[in-house]
Amino acid sequence: MQKSDILFQKLGIGFHNLGTGIKIFGIDIAFYGMVIALGMVLGVLLAQWQAKRTGQNPETYLDFALYAIIISVIGARLYYVIFSWSDYKDNLLSVFDIRSGGLAIYGGVIAGALTGIIYCKAKKIHFGLLADTSIFGLLIGQIIGRWGNFFNREAFGMYYDGLLSMQINLKHVGGDYTRSLQSLTTQYAGKPEALKRILEIRDNTKWIGGTEYISVHPTFLYESVWNLCLLIFLIFYSKHKKFDGELVTIYLLGYGLGRFWIEGLRTDQLFLWGSPLAVSQLLSGALVVIAGLFLLIKRVRLKKS
């Protein structure tokens, strides 16, 4: 696996000779997969901790996780593939290769929610309670999982040279940006904003120590920190929640707000077929409106009762 530097030059931080994985007994193991797996394990443990904290049986959440994790990974991959079909249609086997990235969190959340609904009906558990508890595990998984994008040099933002700018070796950039260098006009036809961002990055590379770097927004870091703040808030607020389902609704509102902003910075957006509309940004906006209205209506009703 190739190694290169990732720098946060203006913060004086550098990760040198950083690879995308390790080799064990001749088998390449990607950091991306290791990070995702760590996030899943810690997610289950945190959900169990919250269950115990609220007087529930922690084993319920280990049992649920065995189904939800597998189905959520499938859902995350399907969501990504569906909205990036042009990248997979000529090589269908590549659909099953997730070691290099290509998981969309919204697909995982949707699949996980559907699994939860079915699980709750089978076990006769209130879905709102299960969702409120599981959301802690989902958030820690998102916080840690985003660092898989860091190791893959992908899911970054547009050109940026400010305090938090991240410099990545141009030769080792991953994701859609590398592919777009090979075929800019065809890949981004009909998506002028995305093309403009890619070209701006390409035209503003910088040389550091004889190596050419792109300088971009570290959107993986923004989302990880945003989710950490959301998790801390929910942990402290959970003792004061007014109804089952409130915590997951606050999550949808808070995550939607952050993701709407962060998605607007990214260069690798998934678009609705044949349109310049970013799928995740549209979904984030819808979540904010729906979750906000639901919380407002629920609070008004509780006040009246």
Question: Measured at the alpha carbon of residue 198, what is the angle toward residues 195 and 199, in degrees to the nearest 5?
Answer: 85
For residues 271 and 191, the answer to whether their CB atoms sit within 8 Å is yes
Tokens coding 304? 């009246």
pLDDT in tens, 231-243: 999 999 999 999 9
Higher-confidence residue of 154 and 142: namely: 142
Mean pLDDT of 128-147: 95
Single pTM value for the model: 0.87
Residue 202 among known ligand-binding residues: no
pLDDT in tens, 148-163: 999 988 888 999 999 9
At residue 188, the pLDDT reads: 57
Q: What is the largest CA-CA distance in the chain?
A: 69
Mean pLDDT of 128-144: 96
pLDDT in tens, 5-39: 899 999 999 998 888 888 888 888 888 889 999 99
What secondary structure does DSSP assign to 181-205, as a single string? Answer: HHSHHHHTTT-HHHHHHHHHHHHT-
> Is the torsion defined by CA of 287, 245, 107, 264 positive or negative?
positive
What percent of the chain has pLDDT above 90?
Answer: 55
Structural domain boundaries of the chain? 4-237
Strand partners, 15: 6
Which of the four pLDDT bands, split at 50, 70 and 90, describes residue 99? low
